[in-house]
Structure 1
């Protein structure tokens, strides 16, 4: 095995080449970290490079284009190697340029033939001599924003139309900042204070969330590797996502339907509010058997399995197994485009089109219409997505209410009284608001 095979730089290039072919970044990273022995510093560099190159891909490709006549005709690993070098050179200030170039050339030498080494060496030296092209050479303003922030033009235009130019640019600028490592304390087993103490004793630096009273943000260290994580004292969950379940106002003896439940993060949060002895139970649905098993595994790890009934069922067919007015509360955490997750899953920005949101709107409305009869009168149904487009959020709620006059929209509550001055009853959390994921939450009460 060559000396470069286990370096974070080569592993990042190998991962990026696979991600370009459809593999998910988080799955590729987890696989590489599990397969190779790396210290924390190398894991951090690997993670930084993979996410950084994906986040800034349009910018990096713009810089590379003058120096490579046909970049998309290169072997994928060679193209990713050059983009990785550009990313390190321009964004990782603590790594000297000489070290970036030398290690890039060494990888080209070991992994390719002499012609590839000469090609990579020539491109790097020419970039250094000539300098990189400036953004202000791009005449079209939307194209210039697209390259500057590495965002698709259609999304820039849609966000500007919906939210205005200032908010649009604030959102797209924020999405290239690192995602926070956020946790939700499992109240079925522990407290915020106890988890903070456990993680601090393990050498991590932790601070309370400003968004969720059950949330913690780890600013140094890896919480996923701790004994507290293995024991189920907390789970990894974004701060915005933690706001959904409190909006349901679950009571200990409630019958709750989690209509689109996998992997079970919100299911276990609901279950922590229930009392099995009082008859409380959450029915957690997913259409795929393997994801139903995952819900069960998460419920077991979080010590709430006695309150969770993981069930393989398409939410649009819920009435085939459940009678009308079966549930006190219903959560529809709907399938969505996921555009609020671009900081955490940066490849989403290149995979989605506006038509995807319009197609998903039909599914979202179908799920709401299917589960609505199973809610008891006076019950609450909460609809949520992790996207930031009105087509999947406000438009869905408006269309549902137009067809279901038996429901009324209520103001979405938060324990921290977030956005208290908003005029909308729904709650939209944008990625620039708190540097958390983008989320939408609406609360519907059945009259």
Structure 2
């Protein structure tokens, strides 16, 4: 049955994603099933989206109840879930005078952030025309967000992109400091670079960037699309001392959210801090038809409520620490970068080379991902040698044990196929 679905996919869908590896038909908790009845433990959660796993009762109830009352209203009106979600997010972020704009995705949230930076630049009489982004950054694939994204294979087919963006080496404060002056409107940073392999920065780096933005009057924008909503063990990465290197939060001027916020429903958000920044947009300067609709915002509220009431931040920290510690002890693994339930695993190719083993063409990590599916696990590769794990925040120690048991064999099988 799976092959039938994939054949139909090939006939009717564009080739933007290549050929899917499976056709999934059902999910429950941390598990999904394909059209042939095979079960998989989901260690990717729809790329850090399904914060509460699949078919969580709280999400099903919130979505069902909202759908029976009010689904879509456009941006000509507001709804109780929309206002309540804005209040909740500003409270969790610790900003009494912040404000929210709701979109439908992460890239749309970053489009809004790009326009916010432009508005800020115009508010200075056009003096501030430059935006600084980091090498290895990923902020989305629409044209504005793509202009902030580093990877050339994403950018080149669609150039010329919106201008005024300068890239500097990630984590190199001297390189960034050399570019920051009074012509800079904003600096945009992922507190941890997800698509680059779940990579943090040197201790003190984010604090230095914050100070440089303050000194020169530039906005600091954090892209927390992957790192936000409890993924690292705090509500937002800017509040996590293990990421910021500071006991106090490194508070941005604006922050973008998506992915885990909706728990599977499409929603993105631009959250601004401080009245001056929050008032940069005026009526009609940006908009969305579907953004912030009652269905998405009601579901997002259920996600936040469940994370809080079920103690999932504590679960993220406990299970994340256990998973990382256990992974580091396995053969075939060189390094694990772990921030809660968001982990980048570097495979140990040096050990393989010493054993006279050849590496698969196209990189070992993608082959490990394919082999993991055969074993019943969904994981992800962000490079030739890097695996990424981002399971649902509800996952337990017992549910990660099978992967810890099987991963050495998965790696070995992937290598054996190339030899």
Q: Which has the higher helix share?
A: 1
TM-score range, shorter chain: 0.3 to 0.5
Q: Find the structure with the greater CA-based Rg.
A: 1
Provide the TM-score with structure 1 as the length reference. Answer: 0.34
Task: Tell which has more relative contact order, 1 or 2 (C-alpha 8 A, sep 6+).
Answer: 2
